[in-house]
Structure 1
């Protein structure tokens, strides 16, 4: 199987055997840059890494980020994202502690029982994914960000036209051996003038049932996921200092006679359903950036609509007939979330004495509507927020205070017979401060403190005690970074960033019986590249947590296992890149009830990317990846089912 990764390297070398390979001319780069220029614990996954990872889901795009752990990330349904111990739980796909945005639009739902993150979209639609861990850096995007913030940016037409007038496109086919997966992505970009651009993309991703390392069915349902993106941008003004961008993003999935319980924990008691899911996002963004350092305005208006319709199949539950109606209540529940969000922000650059300011001020208006379901209350969540963030620099010192004020009005809607109040009002002030000092020798030290509140959710209308109680969290960060050249040899580059954190959450309402959670850990990211084209990427996370629950303090149930990820790669030529990735996960000993899933494991992945620069194959890209090379049979910690066994992936792409 590993030999597949070397077919294209040999072909590339044989293509021009008479010419020597000049390694010293290779562009030096690794898989990922380390963000040493900020105190925020942020990791960016760019377009090249998105393509090289050959991910089938959004979750698989970010599982290589330190502090991120997946729960069943190989399928769009029944999967979850955990960041620093917060996010997906065994009962719900989210605990509201992680925020996900697509082009500024908030995604996801609230507590839908035994259903995953509800992040039904395709990774091929996006050109960049940014993951911010913790609270610092989140106040201009939202409240209640305890675990982290995931931001996705869709592709633009100019990414393919290069800003030149004319047509451009890209066709991609991807095949996977485990699950007989096949994906087609078609992109057409048109730029009729310098000021006008349009993009259309259609993606169809299909996957059958996958097997684990022992050849047994994983239990994850097959899926057929069509997605499409329509996007346009118009630039105008005498100085071309204004623009309007419109985008429409839609993903649909239909499942027939599948288990209601996407986590596979119910043993059949929940029965089967026919389920139809439609997730669509509409974004309109206006930008005004005149020749003035005091004015750079962006206004982002978004609408996110997720509809989950399901029909229970009678007789499919293992419950006794007299109890089957309880399963039918869940199975027949139709869920719909509609979120309208307006964010207006201005960025001003100015100086006060020896201090330079990058001041961002703005406001947000948020309206979320949840449909009434047989198993969950409906209503509206109206919010208004003001925020201010200022990056103040003087020499090597950067001081970044941030403040956010948010109000909330929750209203129960529908013909509901209840003695509980139907309207609640809440507000909160939150904020943080980060300090960063950059020395002249490449070293930087930084630290931050942040406080946020997670406001009550619509799902808790039937629990009045929760409706006036925000979940509160405080996070401390301390870290250092280094970036330099010619460190170990001529022409090499080294970047390292380490981050210590401690998070305390109290007044918790998202977890049954748990009133407080405390997590702490260390995250490490590093990248080293040599002039010869050899590179090493390394990241690691060690996180532990405690929970307060009757009868006393215990280990935090959703704390992730310690993880180390190392990638060794070589750019043989400018066209050819080979890499070997090892993911080592330690045995999880900090658990309340040990299970077989607490065992440690190590898996290996190999990748080869070939991008011809000349000849008839110019513009083509060929990728071969083998995940879980040695067909290891294992179940990741926090996952509810085993991981896929060996999976060979082949991607063929051509830009024109």
Structure 2
């Protein structure tokens, strides 16, 4: 009854919004002026990556051009150049995780702990925790046209109540990305090779638009990478992987105001005779067969009437399937023989109303989401075959969420954005029984399974307020305050404490930005953004023995572009303590600085860049072994060359050459197992042609 009432109230608020907003309009925003002023386009010099100076959020956007230039082997390799974003277990697609400001998948052992949200085409990803495994980054990077990384929680409330660390939003390719004006069909074929591991890549993209109402894209990719070597020539065991990926996306304009979109992505990662521990290949010496699969399907209806600024409505229905099947020939322990599946089904309604009250321009967003997640980890052998593994309890996670955000532009100087989210959740145990749980041939314990139908309810009000003030046309200051709650996940059903409480956090940010032209010379462009933050977490459940975590740090992004050259610079520093003491939080990343220098030639057809990244030595940890053991400082260099002719016989062709770890440095990034150094020198080459 309580949940149904929440749905009714939220839907009523959403549907009544246009009428409510119309009642407070200070002027008729639908009336168009008879005087139209045509402005000439202003072309600014651009670096590889711009800085988001127009927002109070610590956000970095990796666009299609940068994705192509980076020639990433895995989805993780698209992220590790973002300040204060670090990869746990390196960039491998299996067993890896992402760490933002010290928060994320615990030691890379699990799929998710809720503190970092990964969203693909508007659908939240991240299977439940799976002991010493995880598939959070098992996504093919070639699928995406843009990846946006928001550090901190201030703009995560559309998708999550508990993304303390941040949110990663990935958007897949679209047919219009590959069709020129007037084209009805295109074929883009891409081949790639990398020397370290003899990696091969092939992607085929078909785009079709017979008229201005319908377009379609079909993508098929296949990647095969062998075991790579570190800088000393030592084999990085079990770093090989292969697998197909696919994408289908259709857009159809039902009317001038309504568009229907269908999307489906699939990535498969089969592995045979690999270490059970995807992070540390020497742990326990047990090898298994492991198959990872990720499928996302959605249907979206957008209604945006041109004559009504109060309605921009999206109805979004989605299905998410994440699978990790682990099998061993002789060992019957659950963790070595289980079929882990997480399936999500949800419906989201969201409306954006744009209106004016007095001197304030509003962009008012309201949304409601109803979601059902089912998790199972059925044992493949042994006494309890067909029941859930004790280390991965199964059941249902049902939730209803309602969120609002109002971006208020007050005059031409001040922007305030309050946000509020309410989430109501019910966890239900299913197919969990008392059983013996073994972590090896001789290490076992008895686990208590909850009876079927046992439920736990939780709810949370969370929110944030951000502000940005433009002191001048170039210089601005900003700040934000956020409160979050990370509600229990199904994995918490095995813990008496964790399933009955949520983790809570407050985050405060302060910063300044600069965005100016003609700074050093005529036509140049300089952007800079400095953000300081502090996050306090209490009622902790993700890390054993840690109830309170205090984090603070600073991030700097800067880019400069002129006719002579461009430069991108980023730096990050994070510190953390636990339980109100001076004891360090072992998961804070190493301090890093990164610089890219580049030059564009031949009317920007040829792009040459050199990138350097330095990580300082890290000893702020109590661990002496494993991924959180102290690490030494290291510096790597990379070279990239991209050539895209825009005329002649090679028009439509794209050639790229990259050399990573140019000087073959041997190093181990912090949060990576000591048994697995980083990859040594790697030469990459890709050739793409659009027909």
Is this a same-fold pair by TM over 0.5? yes
- Give the equivalent residue in structure 2 for 1:359: 364
Pair 1:150 & 2:168 matched? yes
Distance 1:35 1:488 in 2: 21
> Greater CA deviation, 620-629 or 414-423?
414-423
- Check whether the contact 1:221–1:258 (CA below 8 A) recurs between aligned residues: no
Distance 2:513 2:538 in 1: 31
Distance 1:524 1:474 in 2: 22
Distance 1:26 1:647 in 2: 36
1:334 shift after superposition: 1.3
What SS does structure 2 have at the residue aligned with 1:460?
helix
What SS does structure 1 have at the residue aligned with 2:497?
helix
- Give the equivalent residue in structure 2 for 1:582: 612
Q: Deviations over 1:550-593 (max 9, x none)?
A: xx551011000000000000112221111000001111132224
Pair 1:335 & 2:340 matched? yes
- Give the equivalent residue in structure 1 for 2:31: none
Q: Deviations over 1:403-456 (max 9, x none)?
A: 001100110112635574710011010001011101234100000000010000
Q: How does 1:11-410 map to 2 (within 5 A)?
A: 28-90=45-107, 91-162=109-180, 164-237=182-255, 240-264=256-280, 267-269=282-284, 271-291=286-306, 292-314=308-330, 328-372=333-377, 373-374=388-389, 375-395=391-411, 396-410=413-427
Distance 1:268 1:352 in 2: 62
- Give the equivalent residue in structure 1 for 2:458: 426
Q: Deviations over 1:345-397 (max 9, x none)?
A: 11011111111111001111111100143231100000001111001111200
- Check whether the contact 1:88–1:117 (CA below 8 A) recurs between aligned residues: no
Distance 2:124 2:551 in 1: 26
- Give the equivalent residue in structure 2 for 1:488: 520
Distance 1:33 1:482 in 2: 12
- Give the equivalent residue in structure 2 for 1:646: 681
- The runs of 5 or more residues in structure 1 that have no matched partner are 1-24, 315-323
Q: Deviations over 1:77-99 (max 9, x none)?
A: 12211100011322324322000
- Give the equivalent residue in structure 2 for 1:629: 662
1:27 shift after superposition: 7.1
Q: Deviations over 1:528-559 (max 9, x none)?
A: 01123x0010011011111229xx55101100
- The aligned length equals 615
Distance 2:571 2:311 in 1: 40
1:161 shift after superposition: 1.6
- Give the equivalent residue in structure 1 for 2:649: 616
- Give the equivalent residue in structure 1 for 2:382: none
Distance 1:211 1:116 in 2: 23
What SS does structure 1 have at the residue aligned with 2:547?
strand
What SS does structure 1 have at the residue aligned with 2:405?
strand
- Give the equivalent residue in structure 2 for 1:14: none
- Aligned CA distance change for structure 1 residues 143 and 225 (closer, same or farther; 3 Å): same
What SS does structure 2 have at the residue aligned with 1:461?
helix
What SS does structure 2 have at the residue aligned with 1:567?
strand
What SS does structure 1 have at the residue aligned with 2:177?
helix
Pair 1:603 & 2:618 matched? no
- Check whether the contact 1:309–1:334 (CA below 8 A) recurs between aligned residues: yes
What SS does structure 1 have at the residue aligned with 2:479?
strand
What SS does structure 2 have at the residue aligned with 1:467?
helix
Distance 1:336 1:488 in 2: 56
Distance 2:334 2:432 in 1: 18
Distance 1:559 1:34 in 2: 24
Distance 1:290 1:76 in 2: 42
1:26 shift after superposition: 10
> Greater CA deviation, 370-379 or 132-141?
370-379
- Check whether the contact 2:213–2:252 (CA below 8 A) recurs between aligned residues: yes
- Check whether the contact 1:392–1:400 (CA below 8 A) recurs between aligned residues: yes
- Give the equivalent residue in structure 1 for 2:560: 528
- The runs of 5 or more residues in structure 2 that have no matched partner are 1-41, 378-387, 435-447
- Check whether the contact 1:597–1:635 (CA below 8 A) recurs between aligned residues: no
TM-score (norm 1): 0.91
Q: 2:551 aligns with which of 494, 501, 519?
A: 519
- Give the equivalent residue in structure 1 for 2:468: 436
> Greater CA deviation, 631-640 or 105-114?
105-114
Distance 1:348 1:29 in 2: 32
What SS does structure 1 have at the residue aligned with 2:548?
strand
- Aligned CA distance change for structure 1 residues 146 and 106 (closer, same or farther; 3 Å): same
- Check whether the contact 1:341–1:366 (CA below 8 A) recurs between aligned residues: yes
1:142 shift after superposition: 1.7
- Check whether the contact 1:406–1:428 (CA below 8 A) recurs between aligned residues: yes
Distance 2:432 2:47 in 1: 58
Distance 2:650 2:486 in 1: 52
TM-score (norm 2): 0.87
What SS does structure 2 have at the residue aligned with 1:577?
strand
- Give the equivalent residue in structure 1 for 2:578: 547
Distance 1:273 1:419 in 2: 26
- Check whether the contact 1:196–1:233 (CA below 8 A) recurs between aligned residues: yes
- Check whether the contact 1:338–1:368 (CA below 8 A) recurs between aligned residues: yes
